[in-house]
Structures are given as C-alpha cells and as structure tokens.
C-alpha cells in the first residue's frame, strides 16, 4: 500500500501556488514540481484532507477549471490510481453535492425513492498484515468489502469526468469521498486523517448554542456523535462555503471585509454598523422623547462598541501556531475525538473492523505545517487518559504580509507498507 496525503490547495484562490496561469493557459508551477517529487508516482491513493476546492472565495467555474488542470497533471504524472477526498470547510458543499448525487439524483434516476443524507461516512485504509486478504480501502457505510482503486466504481461520481477533455479524449479519475474522517490502520499504529475545521468556534457554533438552548428538547445524549456534529452545524458551514462564495457582488464585499478585519482596519465595519443603527432607528419609528428610543440607542451603542472591540482583537486561525494550544480549542478537540470514538465503536460493532483508537492525527486548516515525528508536535490529552499527537499538512497559499507575500510551507505526508509514515516539507 502506498499513500500520499495533502490538504489546503484552495483551488480558486488567487494566491494558490500549485497551478500557474500563463497567457490564459494552466501550467505546472514550481511548487507543483516539488509536490510531485515528494509524492512520487504509482501511489494507490492520493488523500486530500480538505479545502481543496475553495467555493467560499470564487465562483464554481473558476474553482473547477483550476482544479481540473491540477487533476489532469496528477493523472498525467501517474501520481495515484485513485483519489480519496475528505472535504473541509471551504469545500464543505462538496460533501453536500456528493450526497445529493448518491442519495437523491441517482435513486430518482433509477425510479427509486430518494434516501436520507449520510452526514458522516467514514473511510478506512487497513494495511495490517495480520488481516491478510482484508487489507485495503473501505467505505463501510457505503460499499460492502474493500475497494479496488483500479476497478469500476459502484457509483460514477460527477467529479470522475473532471479530467476528460471537451472532445471526449482523456481518462477519468476515480474519486472516493469520506467525511469527516479517514482512519488509517497499520501494523504499527492507528492514524486519523481529517481537515480540522471542527476545532474552530465558527464551524461548531450552531451545535454548541443549540446544546445550550434546546437542551433536552434536542433529544440526543450528553454530547453529539459524529453524525449529529456534522448535521447540526451544517447550516453555518454551508453559509460560509458556497453561501458566501457564490453570492455575486456580495462575495467580493465579504472577502474585502474579511481582509480588513484580519489587518485590523475597521473603518468600513464602523460605517456598516452605523448604517445598521440608523436603519433600526428608522424602522422602529419611535415618537419624540419616547424612553424606548433612549433604551434602544443605549443597547445598540453598547453592541456596536463590543463588536468593534471583538473584531479589533480578532486573531486569524490560518497561520496561527498558537491556535491548537488554546484551552477552548483543546476542549473542542476532545469533543471531536470523543465523537470519533463513538463512530469507531459503531464501525467495529457493525462491521467487525477492529479499528483501534487513533493516537496520531493528521489535519490541516491552519496552514502551519508540523512534520511527522516532529518534537514540536502537540500531544493533546484525551478523555479517559492518554495522549494523541497532532501533525499538520500546512497549506499551498501565499500569505499576504506588509512586506509582500510569503509561502508558509506545506507538508506532504506519505505512507508505504514497508517504511511506514513520513513527511517531506515544502518551503
């Protein structure tokens, strides 16, 4: 078994580094050449751990066209026989799209009833020699048995045709999807691959507030399992992905505002808050000297002040090495890990997979690379005792700074049955 794992390519983002556009034509970049040198060729699977297609920053056409060029290069350079795609937050809607094709479009086209979405569909790569003929890639809740990367897929995904040309030439690429977790089990260790966005407040916000407000009316246990975690947080995740990325003129305005907040420039934010205040006053239409008007203005002024202070203290998760060490993030990690434990227990009981709890995690999201075996890797304590070591794939964007732009580094993780896991840093 041979694998290569990367994340955060952000196709569609103009600061991306894996594909160059020269005279309107897509070309391999110098970073792409470093990527293929690190990845090697003839891998069984290329594992993509989220934020591959960036629907939150560009329209669909721009994103898919750039991704098409990249995957054509990957195919031409024979990097892998198939792709395992684990979406993140910037491409969260890819999971919605895949589920819609499989659970809605496909059955209806066959004259069958539509089916409920699977909010969690775990993947497993089992490379334990003691398992003998059970070694391979599994989507246990989707397909029975191991998946041959060179065999015809059980359902032909729309993305498979991305690498074909308009004249019908070119080969398809086999895409398989898991969300939000891919488990890799070897003779030596159990590793969890996920994107990592559920460690950040926004992407779990609706779930955390629903738990506080609805409480017993939510009709779940004391904590979410992984399926519930994804489902309950779906509305805000979808909003911040394609909800913003496909909003026409609003997309550009949101991107501009986000950059201003990250740079500490709040002039436009103050302008928008004042206009909101004025519009609320206009709609309330209080009569002269009505005490409710004073109360309204006092509340709104306090809210505006708090909003400005909050945004002024905003620290971007991306490129933050401190993020993963924060107490609230570690608490959120424990919640996610506990939900993953429930998923593993269910898989073991229902499918006899015997997956050990992972003690190493490969994630992305922050764009801060942490190489395999690095002494700087965080060892996070989990419920019930014990520690989990966290490694990071980094990212493939140029970071804008006052001095210009810089590449903060990506980590290409690889695995083969003989040598185990390792990673190569791309600077």
What pLDDT shows up at residue 303?
66
User: Does the pLDDT of residue 4 top 90, yes or no?
Assistant: yes
Query: Is-contact 157 175, C-beta < 8 A?
Result: yes
Query: Of the ranges 28-32, 213-217, 281-285, 292-296, which is most confident?
Result: 28-32
What pLDDT shows up at residue 289?
52
Query: Is-contact 384 425, C-beta < 8 A?
Result: no
Query: In this predicted model, what pLDDT tens digit does every residue of 238-270 receive, in sequence order?
Result: 988 988 889 989 888 888 887 787 777 888 888
> How many Cβ atoms are within 10 Å of 244's Cβ, its own excluded?
18
CA 224/CA 1 separation, integer angstroms: 34
What pLDDT shows up at residue 95?
94
Q: Given pLDDT bands bounded at 50, 70 and 90, which one contains residue 305? A: confident
CA 10/CA 119 separation, integer angstroms: 23
Q: Given pLDDT bands bounded at 50, 70 and 90, which one contains residue 285? A: low
Query: In this predicted model, what pLDDT tens digit does every residue of 386-416 receive, in sequence order?
Result: 999 999 999 999 998 777 889 989 999 999 9
Across 119-128, 146-155, 165-174, 318-327, least confident range: 146-155
Query: In this predicted model, what pLDDT tens digit does every residue of 111-156 receive, in sequence order?
Result: 999 999 999 999 999 999 876 677 899 999 998 889 988 887 777 8
Query: In this predicted model, what pLDDT tens digit does every residue of 328-385 receive, in sequence order?
Result: 999 999 999 999 999 999 999 999 999 999 999 999 999 999 999 999 999 999 998 8
Token couple for 385:
């005792």
Query: Is-contact 361 413, C-beta < 8 A?
Result: no
Q: Given pLDDT bands bounded at 50, 70 and 90, which one contains residue 157? A: confident
User: Does the pLDDT of residue 97 top 80, yes or no?
Assistant: yes
For the chain, give the secondary structure using H, E and C: CEEEEECCCCECCCCECCEEEECCEEEECHHHHHHHHHHCCCEEEEEECCCCECCCCCCHHHHHHHHHHHHHHHHHCCCEEEEEECCCCCCHHHHHHHHHHHHHHHHHHCCCCCCCCCCCECEEEEECHHHHHHCEEECCCCCCCCECCCCCCCCCCHHHHHHCCCCCCCCCCCEEECECCEEEEECCCEEEECCCHHHCHHHHHHHHHHHHHCHHHHCCCCCCCHHHHHHHCHHHHHHHHHHHHCCCHHHHHHHHHHHHHHHCCCHHHHHHHHHHHHHHHHHHCCCCCCHHHHHHHHHHHHHHHHHHHHHHCCCCCCCCCCHHHCHHHHHHHHHHHHHHHHHHHHHHHHHCCCCCCCCEEEECCCCCCECCCCCCCEEEECCCCCEEEEEECECCEEEEECCEEEECCEEEEEEECCCEEEEEEEC
Query: In this predicted model, what pLDDT tens digit does every residue of 31-52 receive, in sequence order?
Result: 999 999 999 999 999 999 999 9
Would the pTM count as exceeding 0.75? yes
CATH fold, domain 2-202+317-426, is Purple Acid Phosphatase; chain A, domain 2 (3.60.21)
Query: In this predicted model, what pLDDT tens digit does every residue of 180-222 receive, in sequence order?
Result: 999 999 999 999 999 999 999 889 988 888 878 887 777 777 6
Beta strand pairing call for 360-363 and 387-392: parallel
What pLDDT shows up at residue 34?
98
């Amino acid at each position: 078994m041979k694998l290569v794992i990367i994340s955060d390519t952000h196709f569609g983002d103009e600061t991306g580094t894996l594909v160059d556009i020269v005279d309107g034509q897509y070309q391999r970049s110098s970073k792409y050449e470093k990527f293929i040198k690190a990845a090697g060729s003839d891998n069984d699977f290329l594992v993509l751990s989220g934020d591959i297609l960036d629907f939150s920053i560009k329209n669909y056409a721009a994103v898919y066209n750039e991704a098409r060029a990249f995957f054509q290069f990957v195919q031409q350079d024979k990097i892998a026989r198939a792709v395992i795609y684990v979406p993140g937050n910037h491409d969260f809607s890819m999971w919605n799209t895949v589920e819609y094709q499989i659970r809605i479009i496909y059955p209806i086209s066959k004259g069958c009833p539509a089916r409920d979405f699977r909010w969690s569909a775990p993947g497993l790569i089992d490379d334990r020699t003691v398992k003998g003929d059970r070694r391979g890639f599994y989507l246990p809740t989707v397909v029975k048995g191991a998946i041959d990367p060179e065999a015809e897929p059980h359902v032909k995904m729309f993305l498979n045709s991305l690498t074909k040309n308009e004249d019908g030439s070119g080969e398809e690429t086999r895409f398989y999807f898991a969300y939000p977790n891919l488990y890799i089990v070897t003779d030596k260790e159990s590793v969890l691959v996920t994107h990592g966005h559920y460690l950040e407040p926004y992407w779990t916000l609706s779930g955390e507030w629903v738990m506080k407000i609805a409480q017993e009316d939510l009709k779940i246990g004391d904590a979410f399992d992984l399926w519930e975690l994804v489902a309950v947080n779906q509305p805000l995740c979808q909003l911040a992905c394609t909800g913003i990325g496909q909003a026409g003129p609003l997309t550009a305005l949101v991107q501009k505002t986000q950059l201003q907040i990250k740079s500490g420039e709040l002039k436009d934010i103050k302008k928008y808050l004042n206009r909101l205040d004025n519009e609320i006053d206009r709609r309330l239409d209080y009569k002269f000297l009505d005490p409710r008007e004073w109360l309204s203005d006092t509340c709104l002024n306090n809210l505006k002040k708090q909003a400005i202070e909050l945004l002024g203290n905003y620290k971007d998760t991306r490129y933050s090495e401190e993020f993963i060490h924060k107490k609230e993030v570690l608490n959120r990690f424990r919640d996610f890990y506990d939900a993953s434990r429930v998923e593993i227990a269910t898989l073991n009981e229902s499918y006899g997979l015997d997956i050990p709890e992972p003690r190493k995690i490969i994630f992305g999201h922050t764009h801060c690379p942490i190489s395999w075996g690095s002494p700087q890797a965080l060892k996070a304590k989990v419920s019930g005792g014990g520690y989990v070591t966290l490694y990071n794939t980094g990212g493939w964007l140029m970071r804008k700074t006052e001095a210009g732009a810089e590449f903060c580094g990506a980590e290409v993780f690889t695995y083969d049955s003989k040598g185990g896991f390792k990673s190569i840093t791309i600077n």
